[in-house]
Chain A
Amino acid sequence: MDPIIDLTHITKTYRSKGKSVLALKDVTLPVEKGSFTTIVGPSGCGKSTLLKIIAGISLPYQGRLNYKGREITSINTDVGFVTQDSNLFPWLTLIENVELALKIRGVSKEQRAQTAQKLIDTMQLTGFESHYPFELSGGMQKRCSIIRTLIYDPDIILMDEPFGPLDAQTRLVLQDELLRIWDTNKKTILFVTHDLTEAIALSDKVVLFTGRPGTVKRIFDVPLPRPRNVFEIHNEKGFTDLYHEIWSHFKTEIKV
């Protein structure tokens, strides 16, 4: 079956302070429909840039990006994009933030309030609909930023170190919730992180990037059974070996 996203020889250069910076070099990566794929790599290796290219917010680029059968030449309104900072709009309440995409698409007030409420209830945010973002905890804001992309039902969700700024406990809880959402809704998820444990716990495949300019160093299969228990992933048979294997390649990319 054709991959839902097919990246071939993606190269990206951008200008910074008058100099040309080669961010990505010759990235070739197929992403299968319904898979959970993580990209790990050292800081600055261009993994965030790759997501932005797929989202259509980092043009132009060289190479071929086949997204559900077409090239990306402008903003990709077919994906969900979850950034590292929750980036909720501070002037909107929780429920207004969640239903925003539906408002943009012209869905009626009642309809979108209903749809938003359902998502809010599944993420334990009930009761906080009229709160402003500054009144919500980091974890709640993050949940909100996830469901506001789910609400318009994109097939593919791009996530750029979404759990980075959260504390360790909240991170585990949200990882668990994310896997539940992924499994229930059969989404394709492309997830960027620098946390190798998180990468293995969540995904089917771990894509290891080199340092800048970033390219695919190696792709590792994660044969751990599902459903995954993120809270006890270290105890999972095969986890430690896989971790050490990936890490032995990862650490050579980190400049000390």
Chain B
Amino acid sequence: MEIGRGIVEVVATGTIWPHFDATLKEMAAGYVIGAITGVALGFLCGRIKLLGDILNPYITLFNGIPKVALAPVFVIWFGIGLMSKIAIILTMVFFVVFINTFAGLRSVNEDYVAIIRIMGASGWQVVREVFLPATLPFIIVGLRAGIPFSVIGAVVGEFIASTKGLGFFINYNQGTYDTNGIFVGVTILALLVVVLDGLLSLLERRLLKWRPEVEAKSVGA
């Protein structure tokens, strides 16, 4: 209840907006750039075997490093403004989107490719008619997984060094022992994730309506 009142208060007084705005901007920029580069590179590495074989060990290596551990490095490189947070988010989103895209591409059914080539498809047509739609479910999995990573990246970056943002807001309230304030910040973050994930989920259902519904069995039914 207190949290609810707290949320209403920060919204009404407008104190939350600069923070909300900053975090949202960081997430938007980091996510979009990370996602686009992740899909693009994932696709190239999946299609061009040589490229994939060369880059794969490096990507696995860097993926093993927890990006949050790199956050302080990014802050040193890019300063305490938005750039460092964007860099952190970008890196985290890139890896998850890349890996899913790459895996999806490599798992495309060879028979589909043979069938469409026998029909007379050019190289580009094979990509457009088989590889893209077949990989789309995997790309979407990656995109959805990228959203919580964006939030984590933003918050961690802001904890380390920032002047505004929802992470900064939470950290600030921690410093003034305002527990309610902390929960207000956390709740707003959670709502943000729910909304973004919900949007992606809607997109997924529209784009992937050709997939059979998997019956979810509820526990104890």
* A interface, CB within 8 angstroms of B: 55-57, 75-77, 79-81, 83, 85, 87, 89-93, 100-101, 103-105, 132-134, 152
Contact indicator A87/B119 (Cβ below 8 Å): no
* Cβ-closest chain B residue relative to A133: B210
Contact indicator A104/B114 (Cβ below 8 Å): no
CB distance from A16 to the nearest CB of B (A): 15
Contact indicator A104/B112 (Cβ below 8 Å): no
* B interface, CB within 8 angstroms of A: 109, 111-112, 114-121, 125, 129-130, 133-134, 136, 209-212
Contact indicator A101/B211 (Cβ below 8 Å): no
Contact indicator A89/B114 (Cβ below 8 Å): no
Dominant SS among interface residues on chain B: helix
Contact indicator A87/B112 (Cβ below 8 Å): yes
Contact indicator B129/A100 (Cβ below 8 Å): yes
CA distance A87 to B116 in the complex (A): 11
Known: A89-B130, A92-B210, A100-B129. A55 touches B120 (CB 8 A): no
Question: Could you jot down 8 A-B contacts, CB within 8 Å?
Answer: A55-B114, A55-B118, A57-B114, A77-B117, A91-B136, A92-B210, A100-B116, A100-B119
Contact of A87 among B109, B117, B209, B211 (CB under 8 A): B109
CB distance from B114 to the nearest CB of A (A): 5
Contact of A83 among B115, B130, B133, B209 (CB under 8 A): B115
Write out the residue numbers on chain B whose beta carbons fall within 8 Å of the beta carbon of A57.
114, 117-118
Write out the residue numbers on chain A whose beta carbons fall within 8 Å of the beta carbon of B109.
87
CB distance from B164 to the nearest CB of A (A): 44
Contact indicator A87/B118 (Cβ below 8 Å): no
Contact of B129 among A55, A56, A85, A104 (CB under 8 A): A104
CA distance A90 to B129 in the complex (A): 11
Known: A87-B111, A89-B130, A104-B125. A134 touches B210 (CB 8 A): yes
Contact of B120 among A83, A91, A105, A132 (CB under 8 A): A105
Q: Which 7 A-B pairs have the closest CB atoms?
A: A134-B212, A77-B120, A101-B119, A91-B133, A132-B210, A91-B210, A87-B111
